[in-house]
């Protein structure tokens, strides 16, 4: 039984502290947010006649941090109403509030003496058994709790959130030798299931796992680029999605983080790593020349509006972004880089792109090999110091830096033996444990043995990857015999066990992205799903594990049909989508949709046709067709109106047109919800629908919902989905808003 964390407290209302409090509130956890008391009055406070003893003044710092968080972009809160769960106070007048908290998180300035003094105060008010953690990104966790009592140290650990906490999946959990195992288990369970995090256990070493590797890799990349005359557009192209990393690449990510922050992190890490020979790259003369000039000019990146790129007005008045010339240190217009090697691999699967780029005999291939080889070597070099588990390190980079593959997964793709051989030919020292692994006959860091996944652990060899019953991996289910019932290039019907079928979208864009735009090929599988679910299954889940649930109808297909004046083809797609919704509504078995990410247009209409929606918290749902000059034609307009009219009509509600106006405005303004919580507020989700914080659990939760509905005597919902006629006035309201 895990400790039930019902209330939390965060000390420090800076960027991270306020955002952590916001995400706790997103998860429904009432949270105290405290910060220090000001030492002086502002001019505005003096003009109002306030003193340092006035509550308005004493809570100024925490209130300002809270207000900044509420205005943050991207939004820290699922909706503004969530902020009501956060109670503001200061560390002098309200410190005793901490006695009510089950989890106390410290997020104050990165000074060991300040944190130690705060822990001494916390120990004096915390209730026995409450968990205390530090969000430090670099200070030794064990040192922060130094001098505290046994119960405090037993319930103390590091919990390093990545910024922004709502969106970044990684939570590094760092126990000390004194931390009770059950405390680690409790925080891990809470973080995964309530906060939706991916937890990686890290050793108490400088910058833990993610920032340790990320900082060194960034430094190697920048140093090589500057010394060898690569431009910023070249580097960002070659270190972005091409090799499975974010589209920000290297330099746009630096602007996002902040040049001052990067410099501070690098200097701090250098001081903390006297034993690591690789630390010298953090003091690269090439990097220091560029960074010093940028700091002197206050070119700090996005926060100052100028960094490795700046926005200018072109000759035609349009916005342009000029990158920094790393030699002259002036911003200038640059052409988009083009390489034959890159062009030949666009749209190909990531493993093919990686193998192709490291083998490419050109300037692009040389750069990619340099970056990847140094990444792999350093990832191996810091083990087992930071962790002895390759999966933990891979997960840290995937969840904290949004890499598609972790370093050891990349190494497996490239071939461990082949890559080690090339490194040694180039006098790159490969860590001994990797060569010892190869000497045992092992060929990869991950393998499947007797149908079970395993990964390499230093000192132990291959160890099973413990299956998580809360996670359904479709790619694994589809490998099993007779599980794929029907399939084409856009959709599949899969048996996911226990009498539940899954209708999966997997339609790709020309560039290979799984946006799951609804196209004609899907309808054949839709019909198969309806027929087979009715006869052979207890229920149906509609979901997938692509980039997004569905970006809506395939606009390219519809545009081509319009250009060729094939109006009947467009009509047919609308009719098929409407028929699908009608058949789903009348099925004799429960249907549960599991949307996530972009759930737009036709995708939203399919989801709303289900009996129940189990949505990921990060679901961006809407009917944006009006923005393209059309109205939702797959039944979404009717469904949104039905949801507000039918309940009101049952009680002869006199203000029925007010609700129609709200729906009309949502459709007319093409409003897309920025979270599942907001989707519920807008009417895309009903009060009966569920929201799941951890996207990895989504399909398992949707399957469980199907089984629960089936076990309680499910009956078709179409009688409940009748739409009461609201009359001419309601129709007029709809038309007015659409015409606007």
Dump the DSSP string for 332-352.
---PPP--HHHHHHTTS-HHH
Overall fold of domain 474-739? 2-enoyl-CoA Hydratase; Chain A, domain 1 (3.90.226)
Q: pTM score > 0.75 for this model? A: yes
Any idea where the domains of the chain sit in the sequence?
8-201, 210-427, 474-739
Q: Give the per-residue pLDDT at 737.
A: 61
- Which of the four pLDDT bands, split at 50, 70 and 90, describes residue 314? confident
Could you read off the pLDDT of 694-718 as tens digits, one per residue?
999 999 999 999 999 999 999 886 5
| Closest C-alpha among 129, 219, 230, 108 to residue 183 | 129
| Closest C-alpha among 233, 219, 402 to residue 333 | 233
Could you read off the pLDDT of 179-197 as tens digits, one per residue?
999 999 999 999 999 999 9
Q: What is the CA radius of gyration of the chain?
A: 28
Could you read off the pLDDT of 541-576 as tens digits, one per residue?
999 999 999 998 776 666 677 678 877 877 887 888
Average pLDDT over residues 51-75: 96
CA distance 594 to 45: 51
Beta-strand (E) ranges in 277-355? 309-313, 319-323
**Could you give the percent of the chain with pLDDT greater than 90?**
80
CATH 3.40.50.150 fits 8-201, yes or no: no
- Which of the four pLDDT bands, split at 50, 70 and 90, describes residue 56? very high
Average pLDDT over residues 720-724: 61
648: pLDDT strictly greater than 60: no
CA distance 323 to 326: 9
Q: Are 43 and 20 in contact (CB under 8 A)?
A: no
497: pLDDT strictly greater than 60: yes
- Which of the four pLDDT bands, split at 50, 70 and 90, describes residue 74? very high
- Which of the four pLDDT bands, split at 50, 70 and 90, describes residue 625? confident
CA distance 665 to 647: 19
Ramachandran angles phi, psi of 612, nearest 5°: -150, 145
Could you read off the pLDDT of 126-135 as tens digits, one per residue?
999 999 999 9
Could you read off the pLDDT of 259-270 as tens digits, one per residue?
999 999 999 999
Could you read off the pLDDT of 107-140 as tens digits, one per residue?
999 999 999 999 999 999 999 999 999 999 889 9
519: Cβ contacts below 8 Å, ≥ 6 apart: 490, 507, 553, 554, 557
- Which of the four pLDDT bands, split at 50, 70 and 90, describes residue 512? confident
CATH 3.30.70.890 fits 210-427, yes or no: no
Could you read off the pLDDT of 574-615 as tens digits, one per residue?
888 888 888 888 899 999 999 999 999 999 999 999 999 999
Could you read off the pLDDT of 369-426 as tens digits, one per residue?
999 999 999 999 999 999 999 999 999 999 999 999 999 999 999 999 999 999 999 9
275: pLDDT strictly greater than 90: yes
Q: Are 50 and 2 in contact (CB under 8 A)?
A: no
- Which of the four pLDDT bands, split at 50, 70 and 90, describes residue 647? low
CA distance 230 to 725: 65
Q: Are 644 and 556 in contact (CB under 8 A)?
A: no
In whole angstroms, how far apart are CA 276 and each of 174, 283, 374, 412, 520? 21, 13, 15, 26, 57
């Amino acid at each position: 039984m895990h400790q039930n964390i019902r209330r939390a407290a965060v000390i420090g209302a800076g960027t991270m502290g306020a955002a952590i409090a916001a995400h706790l509130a997103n998860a429904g956890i009432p949270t105290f947010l405290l910060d220090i008391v000001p030492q002086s009055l502002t001019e505005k406070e003096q003009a109002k006649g306030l003193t340092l003893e006035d509550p308005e003044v004493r809570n100024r710092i925490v209130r300002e941090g809270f207000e900044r968080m509420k205005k943050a972009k991207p939004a820290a809160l699922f909706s503004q109403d969530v902020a009501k769960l956060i109670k503001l106070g200061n560390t002098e007048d309200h410190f005793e509030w901490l006695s009510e908290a089950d989890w106390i998180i410290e997020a104050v300035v990165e000074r060991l003496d300040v944190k130690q003094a705060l822990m001494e105060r916390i120990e004096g008010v915390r209730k026995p058994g409450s968990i205390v953690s530090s969000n430090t990104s670099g200070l030794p966790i064990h040192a922060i709790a130094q001098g505290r009592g046994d119960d405090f140290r037993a319930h103390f650990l590091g919990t390093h959130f990545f910024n922004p906490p709502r969106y970044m999946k990684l939570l590094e959990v760092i126990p000390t030798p004194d931390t009770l195992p059950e405390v680690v288990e409790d925080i891990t369970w809470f973080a995964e299931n309530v906060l939706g995090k991916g937890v990686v256990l890290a050793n108490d070493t400088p910058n833990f796992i993610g920032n340790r590797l990320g900082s060194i890799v960034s430094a190697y990349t920048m140093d090589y680029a500057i010394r060898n005359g690569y431009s910023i557009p070249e580097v960002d192209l070659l270190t972005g999605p091409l090799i499975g990393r974010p589209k920000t690449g290297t330099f746009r990510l630096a602007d996002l983080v902040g040049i001052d922050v990067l410099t501070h992190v690098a200097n701090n890490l250098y001081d903390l790593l006297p034993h690591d020979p690789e630390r010298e790259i953090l003091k690269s003369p090439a990097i220091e020349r560029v960074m010093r000039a940028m700091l002197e000019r206050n070119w700090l990146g996005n926060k100052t509006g100028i960094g490795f790129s700046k926005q200018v007005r072109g000759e035609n008045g349009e916005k342009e972004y000029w990158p920094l010339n790393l030699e002259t240190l002036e911003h200038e217009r640059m052409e988009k880089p083009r390489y034959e090697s890159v062009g030949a691999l666009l749209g190909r699967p990531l493993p093919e792109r990686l193998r192709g780029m490291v083998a490419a005999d050109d300037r692009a291939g040389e750069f990619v090999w340099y970056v990847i080889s140094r990444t792999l070597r350093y990832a191996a070099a810091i083990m087992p110091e930071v962790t002895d588990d390759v999966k933990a390190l891979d997960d840290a980079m995937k969840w904290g830096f949004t890499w598609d593959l972790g370093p050891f997964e990349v190494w497996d793709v490239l071939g461990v033996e082949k890559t080690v051989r090339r490194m040694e030919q180039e006098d790159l020292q490969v860590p001994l444990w990797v060569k010892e692994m190869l000497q045992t006959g092992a060929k990869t860091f991950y393998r499947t043995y007797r149908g079970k996944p395993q990964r390499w652990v230093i000192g132990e060899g291959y160890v099973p990857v413990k299956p998580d019953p809360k996670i359904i991996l479709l790619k694994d289910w589809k490998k099993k015999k007779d599980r794929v019932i029907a399939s084409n290039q856009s959709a599949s019907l899969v048996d996911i066990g226990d009498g539940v079928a899954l209708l999966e979208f997997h339609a790709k864009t020309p560039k290979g992205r799984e946006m799951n735009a609804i196209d004609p090929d899907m309808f054949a599988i839709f019909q198969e799903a309806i027929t087979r679910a009715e006869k052979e299954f207890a229920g149906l889940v509609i979901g997938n594990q692509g980039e997004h649930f569905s970006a809506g109808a395939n606009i390219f297909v519809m545009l081509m049909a319009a250009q060729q004046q094939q109006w009947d083809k467009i009509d047919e797609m609308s009719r098929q989508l409407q028929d699908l919704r009608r058949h789903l509504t009348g099925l004799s078995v429960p249907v549960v949709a599991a949307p996530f990410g972009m759930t737009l247009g036709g995708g939203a209409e399919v989801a709303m046709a289900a009996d129940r929606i189990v949505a990921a918290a990060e679901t961006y749902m809407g009917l944006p067709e009006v923005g393209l000059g059309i109205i939702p034609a797959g039944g979404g307009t009717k469904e949104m109106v039905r949801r507000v009219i039918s309940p009101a009509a049952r009680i002869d509600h006199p203000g029925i047109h007010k609700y129609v106006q709200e729906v009309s405005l949502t459709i007319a303004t093409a409003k897309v919800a920025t979270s599942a919580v907001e989707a519920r507020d807008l009417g895309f989700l009903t009060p009966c629908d569920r929201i799941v914080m951890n996207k990895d659990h989504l399909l398992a939760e949707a399957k469980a919902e199907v089984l629960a509905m089936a076990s309680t005597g499910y009956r078709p919902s179409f009688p409940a989905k009748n739409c009461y006629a609201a009359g001419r006035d309601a129709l007029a309201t709809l038309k007015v808003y659409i015409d606007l």
